[in-house]
Amino acid sequence: MSDFKKLRQQMIDEQLKSRGLQDKAVLNALGKVPREKFTPTDLIESAYRDSPLPIAESQTISQPYIVALMTAALELKPDDRVLEVGTGSGYAAAVLGEICEHVYTIERYKTLADTAQLKLAKTGYGHVQVKHGDGTLGWVEQAPFDAIIVAAGGPEVPQTLKEQLAIGGRMVIPVGRSLNLQKLVRVRRISKDEYQTEDLGDVRFVPLVGAAGWKE
C-alpha cells in the first residue's frame, strides 16, 4: 500500500468514522479520491491532515470531515444532478464526481477554476464540468439540480439557488452575518413555493462573494 493510500485509510477511520460518519457512498468516495493531487505541492505531506489547507488566491481546500459531512447531507443518488459553488482546489468536486455522473461546479477565481479543471481531468473526473463565474447566480442552463453544495459562507441563502433546486432537492450551505462563524444549513425544496430549513451545526468558511453573497 502506498503512503498516501495508507494516510487516506487512516483519515477515513480516524477523522470520519470516529465522528459517526456512516454514509457508505461518501466513505467510499473519500477513500478513492487522491486528495494529495489537489493539495498545493509544498503542502503535499499534509494532504490528509484533519484541517483545511491554504490554496492559491487566499482560499482553502476544506477539511476532509467537512467535505464528507456536507456531501452526506446532500443524500446523493448516482443519477442526481449536482451543483457545487466554490470549486477551490477541485477536491470536493472530485468527491461529488465519484458518486454522481452529472456534476457542475463554479469558481469565481479563473486561476482556481482552470487549475481545478486540469486536475479533475488528470485524476479521472473529467465528467465534472467547471465554470468560471459567480456561483450565487447558479447555472441556469443546467438547472434544476437535485443537490446544491455551497462551499463558502454567505449572509443568507441565495434566492436564485433556491429557485434552481428541483422539487425534493437539497441544498447545503453555510450562512450567517458573521465572517468568522456560520451555521451550516440544509434547505429542502418541498414544493414549488415551500422550503424546509434544518440547522446542521456551526462551521467556519471563507466568504461567499457575489451578487447574492458578500460584496467585494
Q: Grid coordinates standing for 15?
A: 477523522
Q: Grid coordinates standing for 178?
A: 458573521
Of 164, 171, 163, nearest in space to 188 by CA: 171
46 is catalytic: no
CB of residue 93 vs ligand SAM: minimum separation in angstroms? Answer: 7
34, 64, 97, 135: which one binds ligand SAM (CB under 6 A): 135
Interface characters, 161-200, with ligand SAM (x: CB under 6 A): ----------------------------------------
69, 74, 85, 128: which one binds ligand SAM (CB under 6 A): 85
According to CB under 6 A, which residues from 43 to 72 bind ligand SAM?
Answer: 59-62
* Number of neighbours of residue 1 by Cβ within 10 angstroms: 8
For ligand SAM, the closer CB: 7 or 150: 150
Strand partners, 157: none
Determine, following the binding rule CB under 6 A, whether residue 35 of this chain makes contact with ligand SAM. Answer: no
> CA-CA distance, 28 to 39, in Å (whole number)?
20
> CA-CA distance, 25 to 129, in Å (whole number)?
21
Query: Of 165-173, 175-183, 185-193, 202-210, which segment contacts ligand SAM by CB under 6 A?
Result: 202-210
For 169, the enclosing helix (H) or strand (E) is strand 165-175
Q: Grid coordinates standing for 190?
A: 418541498
C-beta nearest to ligand SAM: residue: 86
115, 117, 136, 164: which one binds ligand SAM (CB under 6 A): 136
For ligand SAM, the closer CB: 81 or 136: 136
| Residue pair 83/144 in contact by the 8 Å Cβ criterion | no
- Catalytic-role residue among 62, 89, 178, 191: 62
DSSP-based three-state secondary structure for 57: helix
> CA-CA distance, 83 to 169, in Å (whole number)?
11
Interface characters, 87-126, with ligand SAM (x: CB under 6 A): -xx-xx-------------xxxx--x--------------
Phi/psi region, residue 148 (left: phi>0; alpha: psi -120 to 50; beta: rest), is beta
Q: Residues interacting with ligand SAM, by CB under 6 A?
A: 59-62, 85-86, 88-89, 91-92, 106-109, 112, 134-136, 151-152, 205-206, 208-210, 213
- Catalytic residue numbers read 62
